[in-house]
Structure 1
């Protein structure tokens, strides 16, 4: 069984661990998630904290830990069995998307050698970046120029301007053919699909760290453009397609489109799953609320029964007392008047009659206390 060695820079591993969960990425390299964590720890590559992907799932804000700088960058070697690498890339969704892209004859999978009928965005971007001079640029990369805000974000050396524009023109045309909306904002170019899911696209020239010494003897490290281009796609994390010794970015258009469409499809699928789960939750919540309401209604019904029974018991005592007083001989006029009053109160208190009494309308018959009132209602 052959072993394949995958070479990564710290930056590349960093971008990968922040673009997808550790468990998912580890499977792609036929590693355990703990094994991948150890590699990240060894090379000082920060990983997302616990709960990071759950926050992203529910569109909550997260903070990305920056990659620490090291004096000497090391290449990271990951040994993977070829058979396992093939198995781990067997993604039904990605395979379906790949078929869709490959069979779409309208797509332009080859980057032209020169700009031909460029998109309006590219025309304006070309006018903007070709006026720039390296000495006037505020780019963090030595020897490069960059577009202004409100244009697609491009930071490259002058010799790579033409390549960058042709690559971006090709991608924009393909994005439109795939039905994506193009949104140009201050921070750069966004592509939008399906349920308003979006990704940012930008082009960078890769760099090497070079030690320099100033005229005053101060030592520092500068990032110097090395001529290799990369197309970066940002969603929650960032993934990139860069020039390699075997292929240029221009040769990876199909790969880029498959990756982006797969990501959009996955976002769409996850959103639908969340909607289904939310719908199930709401249905279960309604069932539970209905069940609790039935219980509450049943309890209230019993409490009413309980209170009526106790009121009846108290009523019978009052009734007996009233009957006793009424049976007395030689009743005074005052007692006769009181007995008449008491009779009306018995009718008001009797749970079987429940006659209203204007003066006692605000009294709770079970507790024989005034009902609480809100606002500025006072009793005098």
Structure 2
């Protein structure tokens, strides 16, 4: 099913200069190349390579003017509703991929030698330079960093590669605006409250061995292939293959980490919205319950007053009888008249000596203890 979106040249021009093509194209369910062709057809200039990165970092940019045409045509874009990707993570990855590819500040090629290493890398280099191969290590033929440093387990011949890869990733993640730190878990990249752990490990092969006493064992032997592991609710590995080294996969690593951070941010935003909705519903229910409680308390008061009024009428009748009796003491009459005013639900006169008495039960009110 297709929907037609109609735009003027100026409207489409404004859109492509305020939103990257990779994002804007999703609005029309087109590829960015498809939208690019439409802009070229109608002579609408597009932002040059690196435009959005310069804008992001507050650098000066130049916006090309829209060429005038004698006969302005209305642009019709047919939106194919059937092209919607049911998996939002795929759309997110597409957006992140374009962001990484167009970020000219990123260093997508690992240097052949370590140059001006990050402070964390310098500490790792110093630590590994003092290490010797440990025959009792989990992976034989390897050395590993001490606690409080990025987690690296490699053979001596891969130390240089590991340091250069680590340095490249740290510098790139700082360019992307992440906070880089080391804790008990190893190297961490953080964005807001979200964190991702990264470590470098040499892969291994299993080898069956038999010692001089005839005891058989299975050992892990370092095989020279490096792997970068990303840990966040699971592990993603980028390892040396027959075609590509880890150094050739820097872009993929950055896309993976950025996608994960964006996914976590989106989940946090959704959670915040749901939390606000729940809080709003809680307040509504709380207000409803408060109204019900107030209504109940109001009726109980009405009920008690009615029953007290009936008892008051009995007391008043008795009072009138006693008052008409010439033998009744005037002092008692004055006293009883005040007590009637106190008990009368229509008057509720104050009485110092009766202020601790519940008028409905005539029992002493419960006194609240002191709050220390």
Do the structures match in fold with TM over 0.5? Answer: yes
Work out the CA distance in 2 between the residues paired with 1:188 and 1:332: 96
After superposition, the Cα gap between the structure-2 partners of 1:132 and 1:236, relative to the gap in structure 1 and judged at 3 Å, is: same
After superposition, the Cα gap between the structure-2 partners of 1:357 and 1:246, relative to the gap in structure 1 and judged at 3 Å, is: same
Q: Please give the TM-score of this superposition, normalised by the length of structure 1.
A: 0.72
Residue 142 of structure 2 is aligned to residue 148 of structure 1: no
Aligned residue pair count: 286
Work out the CA distance in 2 between the residues paired with 1:110 and 1:242: 16
Residue 227 of structure 1, CA deviation:
1.0
Work out the CA distance in 1 between the residues paired with 2:254 and 2:120: 19
Alignment of 1:171-186 (within 5 A): 171-186=169-184
| Residues 145-179 of structure 1: CA deviation (Å, up to 9, x unaligned) | 11111221110111111111111111111111111
8 Å contact kept, 1:151–1:185: yes
Aligned to 1:106, what secondary structure does the other structure show? coil
Aligned to 1:364, what secondary structure does the other structure show? coil
8 Å contact kept, 1:139–1:155: no
Aligned to 2:146, what secondary structure does the other structure show? coil
Partner of 2:228: 231
Where has structure 1 moved over 6 Å in runs of 4 or more? 86-90
Residue 87 of structure 1, CA deviation:
8.8
Partner of 1:104: 103
Work out the CA distance in 2 between the residues paired with 1:87 and 1:286: 35
After superposition, the Cα gap between the structure-2 partners of 1:321 and 1:87, relative to the gap in structure 1 and judged at 3 Å, is: closer
Aligned to 1:166, what secondary structure does the other structure show? helix
Alignment of 1:287-298 (within 5 A): 287-298=284-295
Aligned to 2:140, what secondary structure does the other structure show? coil
Partner of 1:305: 302
Aligned to 1:179, what secondary structure does the other structure show? coil
Work out the CA distance in 2 between the residues paired with 1:109 and 1:297: 67
Partner of 1:371: 365
Residue 112 of structure 2 is aligned to residue 118 of structure 1: no
After superposition, the Cα gap between the structure-2 partners of 1:90 and 1:357, relative to the gap in structure 1 and judged at 3 Å, is: closer
Q: Please give the TM-score of this superposition, normalised by the length of structure 2.
A: 0.73
| Residues 27-48 of structure 1: CA deviation (Å, up to 9, x unaligned) | xxxxxxxxxxxxxxxxxxxxxx
Aligned to 1:353, what secondary structure does the other structure show? coil
Work out the CA distance in 2 between the residues paired with 1:342 and 1:216: 112
Residue 238 of structure 2 is aligned to residue 241 of structure 1: yes
Alignment of 1:197-208 (within 5 A): 197-208=194-205
| Residues 106-155 of structure 1: CA deviation (Å, up to 9, x unaligned) | 111111121122222212211211221113x7631100011111221110
Alignment of 1:72-91 (within 5 A): 91=90
| Residues 316-349 of structure 1: CA deviation (Å, up to 9, x unaligned) | 11101111122224x154xx43333222211110
Residue 305 of structure 1, CA deviation:
1.1
Partner of 2:188: 190
Work out the CA distance in 2 between the residues paired with 1:235 and 1:150: 19
Work out the CA distance in 1 between the residues paired with 2:209 and 2:225: 21
Alignment of 1:206-355 (within 5 A): 206-329=203-326, 331-333=327-329, 336-355=330-349
Work out the CA distance in 2 between the residues paired with 1:103 and 1:133: 43
Residue 104 of structure 1, CA deviation:
0.5
Structure 2 portions without partners, runs of 5+ = 1-84
CA RMSD of aligned residues (A): 1.9
Work out the CA distance in 1 between the residues paired with 2:89 and 2:357: 75
8 Å contact kept, 2:322–2:328: no
Question: Which structure would you say has the larger RCO, counting Cα contacts within 8 Å and 6 or more residues apart?
Answer: 1
Aligned to 2:238, what secondary structure does the other structure show? strand
Work out the CA distance in 2 between the residues paired with 1:87 and 1:313: 72
After superposition, the Cα gap between the structure-2 partners of 1:340 and 1:88, relative to the gap in structure 1 and judged at 3 Å, is: closer
Work out the CA distance in 1 between the residues paired with 2:338 and 2:194: 73
| Residues 194-232 of structure 1: CA deviation (Å, up to 9, x unaligned) | x22111111001111111222222222111111111001
After superposition, the Cα gap between the structure-2 partners of 1:342 and 1:266, relative to the gap in structure 1 and judged at 3 Å, is: same
Partner of 1:44: none
Residue 246 of structure 1, CA deviation:
2.1
8 Å contact kept, 1:182–1:192: yes
Residue 88 of structure 1, CA deviation:
6.8
